[in-house]
Amino acid sequence: MGRSGDIFKKLAAGATPEELSFSAPLDNGLTPISEVLRTPDEHFRDLPDFPFPPHYFQSRSHGDIRIHYLDEGPKTARETILLMHGEPSWCFLYRHMIPPLVAAGFRVVAPDLVGFGRSDKPARRADYSYERHVSWMSELVVAIGLDNCTLFAQDWGGLIGLRVVSRYPERFLRIAIGNTALPTGNQGFAEAFKIWAGVVSQKFPHWGLLVDASVVRTLSPAEQDAYEAPFPSEAFKAASREFPRLVPQYPDHASVEENMGAWRRVFERWQKPFLTLFSDSDPVTKNGEKIWQRRVPGAKGQAHHIVEKAGHFLQEDKPLELAERILEFIRRNPCALNPPPATAKLYRHWVQAQSLTFEGSASSSASSS
């Protein structure tokens, strides 16, 4: 990790008690978004191993926000794999996983969360809330017609993606997660996460260096620059600075109730296949797979795995292994596909039937009288 790790360690060593006991941002997302930034396209030119064309969806659920996503493979594929990134990364994280997943015949969609990558970036930290992000990604899933999906999600991609599943469980056939959680404010967090959320995430100067410090291998300078590319200046980093403090760490955090509901309503009743693919070198989510294996019915009997020699961003350390394990998970767990969406075709016949019933009843009544 070199210089990246040195910066991380220096910031962590200087953490003060006040910085580690920050308050939950409870007022985020309560006012309209008044200013939105957009990273110029030239910042995304000539990125290493990233030949994928951009796709955009215009969201209007919370302001007028353009959301970017990658959409590879045949749109007519029987199944789709949805890849969700966390922070401060973007869909660039999946550049080495997408080709083998597409080669296996799947449609592969990888969105950029709002505030990251090529997606628009509301300017104020208070513009970002957990619930707004769930709404933005839920809106995208519906708008581009995602169905018969297998989700793979890491970091904040899990916090948000799993909540999208809880809104639309019928659209998802399987779930695989790595180095993520769905916290409800009462599990407690590792000291490493407190240092990250309270200090390192607020002061780290370059997100490419941060990603490099969070993997086992060494990223090339071009790869590091690709992770910084979406953020031309500090003004573009509102989301990436605020996200760590939005994690529901304590009972008074926002979205605790919503996450508890997702556990109770969906994941503790989830019978469909569920796989954990956590890594061996991530201090933040160490042992985080166990709660899923214990509480999710669909996790029983699955080939859960700890990916060796991989850090927090395991997609950078072991992308081909992850892709193969996801494909093997799908092969081992064939699922009946959803039928086409139901429509109101029978509504007219229902009205006619009800009309005939009503007329018959009326005639009977008249005869009786």
Look at the block and give the residue holding tokens 């600075």: 241
Which residue in 112, 127, 147, 155 is the catalytic one?
Answer: 155
349 is catalytic: no
Which residue in 120, 282, 304, 317 is the catalytic one?
Answer: 282
120 is catalytic: no
127 is catalytic: no
Closest by CA to 181, choosing from 247, 233, 234, is 247
Dihedral of alpha carbons 292, 296, 297, 298, sign: negative
CB atoms under 10 Å from CB of 158, counted, come to 25
Which residue in 62, 85, 253, 312 is the catalytic one?
Answer: 312
CB atoms under 10 Å from CB of 350, counted, come to 10
For residue 55, how many C-alpha atoms fall within 13 Å in the half-sphere facing its CB? 13
Give the integer Cα–Cα distance in Å for 104 and 324: 10
φ/ψ of residue 33, rounded to 5: -80, 120
Closest by CA to 323, choosing from 97, 145, 141, is 97
Structure tokens at 279: 């890594």
Q: Are 106 and 328 in contact (CB under 8 A)?
A: no
Structure tokens at 236: 């573009």
Give the integer Cα–Cα distance in Å for 107 and 325: 17
Look up residue 362 and give its amino acid: A
Positions annotated as catalytic residues are 155, 282, 312
